[in-house]
Structure 1
Amino acid sequence: MDDAAVLKRRGYIMGINLGEGSYAKVKSAYSERLKFNVAVKIIDRKKAPTDFLEKFLPREIEILAMLNHRSIVKTYEIFETSDGKVYIVMELGVQGDLLEFIKTRGALHEDDARKKFHQLSSAIKYCHDLDIVHRDLKCENLLLDKDFNIKLSDFGFSKRCLREDSGRLTLSKTFCGSAAYAAPEVLQGIPYQPKVYDIWSLGVILYIMVCGSMPYDDSDIKKMLRIQKEHRVNFPRSKHLTGECKDLIYRMLQPDVNRRLHIDEILNHCWVQPKARSLPAGASNKEGESSRTPDTLGVPDATTIDKHSATKVEAREEAAPKINPEVAAVAAAAAAPAVASVALEVSKQPENMAFNNKPSAIEATKEEAAESAQQQPPETNGP
């Protein structure tokens, strides 16, 4: 049975093609039950890599069933056919992704950036409070609903963090993500704190929001890494950014993992808070670091933002009130070692994930232990 017939039997009228990868594609569809358009991810398990099926896929399914936040895409239904095809029904981001939005309209005004960044940060806090890390935060994975609100998507590299007896989170040894958004410790291929990695990526995203360009040129990873480790951040003068905005970015793009901000500190930062009073352009933060940085990177104002991840194929719209109960059932099945059921964002190509001559981001020096069970707290909604 073809995809249209399969979806029709489940109450969906298939629409246009939204994207396609090597073993997955995304179609739009109208849900006769929900009464609005959705995105349907169709995965061919026969074509998917073994690492993905055995490792990333079960993690993602477990996490998708847990998530319930207004700034995270909703998953409505997951089902699989006897021929090995998996269908995931999700929100449809009718306004596309943030990267395309900025490429089309240019840098955001700080007030608009503040609103969107607060939504994203609230979603990340919600995840981090559950000990869930995303590990692939980038503008392509931030979808926009009809009102241009942020919807965090693509949990294909996400995981639940284990805690040691001391209560500390264990380090991650799986090196994944996109080089342009990756923290220095990840680029260096050393074990890293995954929550702290997410914070660096948030800093890159906010820079792109307000500057309309990338903070670092990833065409030369070795050079980029040297600049990052020197804690150099160049802000285009023509953007006239407030001192507090630059201060926040500078402190998120902190190469020292012990001094990089945590998500609570980001949400409490004066720039993120409404009606915040601007800091002087050269104001120093509490660590004595100035947000005024040398103009040594030479980032031009009109820098073209290219997609550093070649396989973003998602779109969504408004959420239904609750996740379909089938999601939880599939998640439970995915926890079995021999079962690899479904994943939300699967069209990741090896070239997307390669850092510094690593053949694939899903290569790990050691498989992390199975994630510990944890109960989901009530939803914490962003603004």
Structure 2
Amino acid sequence: MDDAAILKRRGYIMGINLGEGSYAKVKSAYSERLKFNVAVKIIDRKKAPADFLEKFLPREIEILAMLNHRSIVKTYEIFETSDGKVYIVMELGVQGDLLEFIKTRGALQEDDARKKFHQLSSAIKYCHDLDVVHRDLKCENLLLDKDFNIKLSDFGFSKRCLRDDNGRLTLSKTFCGSAAYAAPEVLQGIPYQPKVYDIWSLGVILYIMVCGSMPYDDSNIKKMLRIQKEHRVNFPRSKHLTSECKDLIYRMLQPDVNRRLHIDEILSHCWVQPRSRGQSAGAINKEGESAGTAHSLWVPELGTDKKSATKMEPREESHPEARPEAGSEVKSQENTVPTSRQAETLAFNPELTKKSEEGFPQQSSETHT
């Protein structure tokens, strides 16, 4: 029996193809019970690799069944047929994904970015509080509902974190995700703290939201790693971002895992909080002290504590050689996994980096180090 017939028997009228990989595909369908369109992820066990069937798929199914958050794609039903096909019926992102939205409309204004980023961060806090990590956060996996609210999707790389006898989270050794969004420790093959990995990816996503471009050029992983480990973040001058926004991004893209922000610190950051809208453009720490005025080019002052907002010091110029790295075009990640949104799951090889011709022209930038 084909997919359309199987879905029809379950009360779904199959629609168009939304994505396809070597062993999984995603179809749209109309639910006669729910009275609206849904997405159906169809996985063929006969074509899937053993490690996916033994490890990733059981994790995904377990986690999807337990999640219930307004900013996470809802899972309505999971069933399997006798011939080894798994059907996961999910909420449909009717407005597409965030990557396509930005490629079509350009960078978001900070107020819109703040709203969407708060929705995403709330979803990540919900997951992290359950000791669930996503490990494949990227704009393609952020779907938009009819009102353009964020819906986090694709938990193919997700897992529940284990704890040792002292209650501390154990490190992960599975290196997965998308190179352009992956933290330096993951790209280097170092056992990593999965929650801390998610935070780096959040930093990349917020940068893309407000800049309309990638923070790092992943066509040369070795060079990208060097820039990341030097804690260099370039912002397009034309975007006129507030210091608070740049401060938050800079502190999420922190190569030192012990200093990278936690999800609670992100949600309490002055830029994310509504009160930040009425404050000056100077960076503000948790004690409410202004840390300087807005400049087109600034660098954090050395020696600040990670628990307080980074103080800023005006500088006329910093690392001009880094400027070509700014404005890397927003592109579909050809070396990413899953191969399509809500579709297939494979581990990436950092050496297999490709450059998309789609995207935005490079812009002049300012450098933060």
TM-score normalised by the chain length of structure 1:
0.81
Asked if 2 retains the 8 angstrom alpha-carbon contact of 1:311 and 1:349, the reply is yes
Is 1:18 paired with 2:15? no
Residue equivalent to 2:349: 354
Asked if 2 retains the 8 angstrom alpha-carbon contact of 1:27 and 1:39, the reply is yes
Shift of 1:170: 0.5
Residue equivalent to 2:114: 114
C-alpha distance in structure 2 between counterparts of 1:295 and 1:107, whole Å: 24
Gaps in structure 2 of 5+ consecutive residues? 283-292, 354-369
Q: What RMSD, in angstroms, separates the aligned Cα atoms of the two structures? A: 2.0
C-alpha distance in structure 2 between counterparts of 1:357 and 1:210, whole Å: 28
DSSP 3-state at the match of 2:25: strand
Is 1:242 paired with 2:204? no
Matching residue's letter, 1:146: K
Shift of 1:168: 1.2
Residue equivalent to 1:161: 161
Is 1:298 paired with 2:293? no
C-alpha distance in structure 2 between counterparts of 1:108 and 1:251, whole Å: 20
Residue equivalent to 2:273: 273
C-alpha distance in structure 2 between counterparts of 1:217 and 1:300, whole Å: 6
| Mapping for residues 25-40 of structure 1, pairs under 5 Å | 25-40=25-40
Residue equivalent to 1:376: none
C-alpha distance in structure 2 between counterparts of 1:188 and 1:300, whole Å: 20
C-alpha distance in structure 1 between counterparts of 2:248 and 2:25, whole Å: 37
Q: How many residues align?
A: 326
C-alpha distance in structure 2 between counterparts of 1:310 and 1:126, whole Å: 23
C-alpha distance in structure 2 between counterparts of 1:135 and 1:232, whole Å: 23
C-alpha distance in structure 2 between counterparts of 1:16 and 1:87, whole Å: 16
Asked if 1 retains the 8 angstrom alpha-carbon contact of 2:52 and 2:345, the reply is no
CA offsets 1:320-340 (integer angstroms, 9 cap, x no match): xxxxxxxxxxxxxxxxxxxxx
**Structure 1 100/115 Cα, relative in aligned 2: closer, same or farther at 3 Å?**
same
Shift of 1:301: 7.4
**Structure 1 219/357 Cα, relative in aligned 2: closer, same or farther at 3 Å?**
closer
C-alpha distance in structure 2 between counterparts of 1:305 and 1:357, whole Å: 18
Shift of 1:290: 3.9
CA offsets 1:2-39 (integer angstroms, 9 cap, x no match): 11111111001111111111111111111010010001
Asked if 1 retains the 8 angstrom alpha-carbon contact of 2:60 and 2:159, the reply is yes
C-alpha distance in structure 2 between counterparts of 1:247 and 1:297, whole Å: 18
Residue equivalent to 1:252: 252
**Structure 1 291/237 Cα, relative in aligned 2: closer, same or farther at 3 Å?**
farther
Asked if 2 retains the 8 angstrom alpha-carbon contact of 1:212 and 1:303, the reply is no
C-alpha distance in structure 1 between counterparts of 2:351 and 2:68, whole Å: 36
**Structure 1 137/68 Cα, relative in aligned 2: closer, same or farther at 3 Å?**
same
TM-score normalised by the chain length of structure 2:
0.84
Shift of 1:284: 4.7
Matching residue's letter, 2:13: I
Residue equivalent to 1:70: 70
Asked if 1 retains the 8 angstrom alpha-carbon contact of 2:236 and 2:327, the reply is no
CA offsets 1:205-260 (integer angstroms, 9 cap, x no match): 00000000000011110110000000000001010000000000000000001100
C-alpha distance in structure 2 between counterparts of 1:164 and 1:301, whole Å: 41
C-alpha distance in structure 1 between counterparts of 2:266 and 2:242, whole Å: 16
Work out which structure has the larger RCO, using CA pairs closer than 8 Å and 6 or more positions apart in sequence.
1
Is 1:9 paired with 2:34? no
Shift of 1:66: 0.9
C-alpha distance in structure 2 between counterparts of 1:117 and 1:11, whole Å: 35
**Structure 1 32/291 Cα, relative in aligned 2: closer, same or farther at 3 Å?**
farther
Asked if 1 retains the 8 angstrom alpha-carbon contact of 2:216 and 2:328, the reply is no
DSSP 3-state at the match of 1:38: strand
C-alpha distance in structure 2 between counterparts of 1:289 and 1:78, whole Å: 49
C-alpha distance in structure 1 between counterparts of 2:337 and 2:198, whole Å: 20
C-alpha distance in structure 1 between counterparts of 2:325 and 2:104, whole Å: 17
DSSP 3-state at the match of 1:234: strand
Matching residue's letter, 2:64: L
Structure with greater strand share of residues: 2
Gaps in structure 1 of 5+ consecutive residues? 315-344, 359-383
DSSP 3-state at the match of 2:28: strand
**Structure 1 303/271 Cα, relative in aligned 2: closer, same or farther at 3 Å?**
same
Asked if 2 retains the 8 angstrom alpha-carbon contact of 1:103 and 1:304, the reply is no
DSSP 3-state at the match of 2:323: coil
CA offsets 1:82-141 (integer angstroms, 9 cap, x no match): 111111110000110000110111100000000000000000000000011111100010
Residue equivalent to 2:103: 103
CA offsets 1:324-361 (integer angstroms, 9 cap, x no match): xxxxxxxxxxxxxxxxxxxxx451355xx112479xxx
C-alpha distance in structure 1 between counterparts of 2:225 and 2:257, whole Å: 15
C-alpha distance in structure 2 between counterparts of 1:138 and 1:26, whole Å: 18
DSSP 3-state at the match of 1:271: coil
C-alpha distance in structure 2 between counterparts of 1:194 and 1:11, whole Å: 38
CA offsets 1:20-62 (integer angstroms, 9 cap, x no match): 1111111111101001000111111100111100011111111
Asked if 1 retains the 8 angstrom alpha-carbon contact of 2:23 and 2:47, the reply is yes
C-alpha distance in structure 2 between counterparts of 1:123 and 1:57, whole Å: 21
Shift of 1:305: 1.3
CA offsets 1:250-288 (integer angstroms, 9 cap, x no match): 000000011000000000000000130232334858535
Identity of aligned residues (%): 82
Residue equivalent to 1:209: 209
Shift of 1:167: 1.8
DSSP 3-state at the match of 1:108: coil
